[in-house]
Amino acid sequence: MTRKKDKNLLDEYRKIKNEMLFDKVNEVFRKNPDNYTQKLEEIGFEYHEEEDYEKIEEDKATPQNDRQEYLVAYFDGEHELSKKTLHAYLEERDSEHPNYPLIRKYFKAANQRLKDLLLFGLDQDPIIIDLLNDLSFFHEFQNILEELVNRFLSACRQEKNLLNFSEIVQDFYYATEPDSYDALAKLKELFPPDTEKGKNVEFVAVELLKNRDEPGHIEF
């Protein structure tokens, strides 16, 4: 009984200590939003700069084959955009081992030639979901909201397969929601509720609302 009582007292002590520490940390952030590192160190915390592992990967990334060398040459302005460039990009994207760090750094740099390539691909086929999502990723590093919205709307108008349409609707929502753009409201304007696409938009809207706290693709 004594040992159990001692354990309970120890647990209670730890709980109180953690609560006090939590309150101190909150107070530091509240009172010193611009100088919290030094203040946290004063109450016993050690500050360590978190390494950007993605950047380390990107800095080390080099082309590993002819296709990747060709794409890098395009991004760096050494040859003009063509269907061959688009084909090389899509091949790399769909390859078994794509060189993500190599390509990703051009997204993060908001490389204009990469953007031109994505738009060129969507000009050829407006409903390529992978290119729409890549354009969404590009938007994270350069605000191209108007262009992004127009491309998604074009894809929604032209996609005839309802399963693919549903996926595009979801991706449209997730791509523009951080910008406070109401993609679902716009789609409800475009597709009346008595149409197949309109019913589909209504269904996706309901499912997204249910899963708002756990974003992910809806299963159909």
* pLDDT tens-digit profile, the chain (220 residues): 445 545 455 555 555 545 555 666 666 556 666 666 666 666 666 655 556 788 888 889 999 999 999 999 999 999 999 999 999 999 999 999 999 999 999 999 999 999 999 999 999 999 999 999 999 999 999 999 999 999 999 999 999 999 999 999 999 999 999 999 999 999 999 999 999 999 999 999 998 877 765 545 444 3
Q: 163 and 114 in one domain?
A: yes
Which pLDDT score, from 0 to 100, does residue 210 have? Answer: 78
Q: How far is it, in rounded angstroms, from Cα 19 to Cα 181?
A: 40
> Around 220, how many Cα atoms within 13 Å sit in the side-chain half-sphere?
14
Range of the structural domain that residue 173 is part of: 53-210
pTM of the predicted structure, to 2 decimals: 0.73
Please report the DSSP string for 26-57 in residue order: HHHHHH-TTSHHHHHHHTT----PPP-HHHHH
Residue 127 in any domain: the answer is yes
Which pLDDT score, from 0 to 100, does residue 219 have? Answer: 45
Which pLDDT score, from 0 to 100, does residue 218 have? Answer: 47
Which pLDDT score, from 0 to 100, does residue 52 have? Answer: 75
Which pLDDT score, from 0 to 100, does residue 137 have? Answer: 96
Residue 146 in any domain: the answer is yes
Q: 36 and 7 in one domain?
A: yes
* CA dihedral for 78, 140, 170, 189, sign (positive or negative): negative
CB 136 within 8 A of CB 177: no
CA angle 157, 108, 64 (to 5 degrees): 100
Which pLDDT score, from 0 to 100, does residue 36 have? Answer: 60
Q: 179 and 92 in one domain?
A: yes
Q: 84 and 9 in one domain?
A: no
Residue 218 in any domain: the answer is no
Which pLDDT score, from 0 to 100, does residue 190 have? Answer: 96
Which pLDDT score, from 0 to 100, does residue 208 have? Answer: 85
Residue 173 in any domain: the answer is yes
- Judge residue 77's burial from the number of C-beta atoms within 10 Å of its C-beta, 0-12 exposed, 13-18 middle, 19 or more buried: exposed
Which pLDDT score, from 0 to 100, does residue 29 have? Answer: 59
Q: How far is CA 124 from the centre of its chain?
A: 24
Which pLDDT score, from 0 to 100, does residue 173 have? Answer: 95
Q: 26 and 66 in one domain?
A: no
Residue 47 in any domain: the answer is no
Residue 94 in any domain: the answer is yes
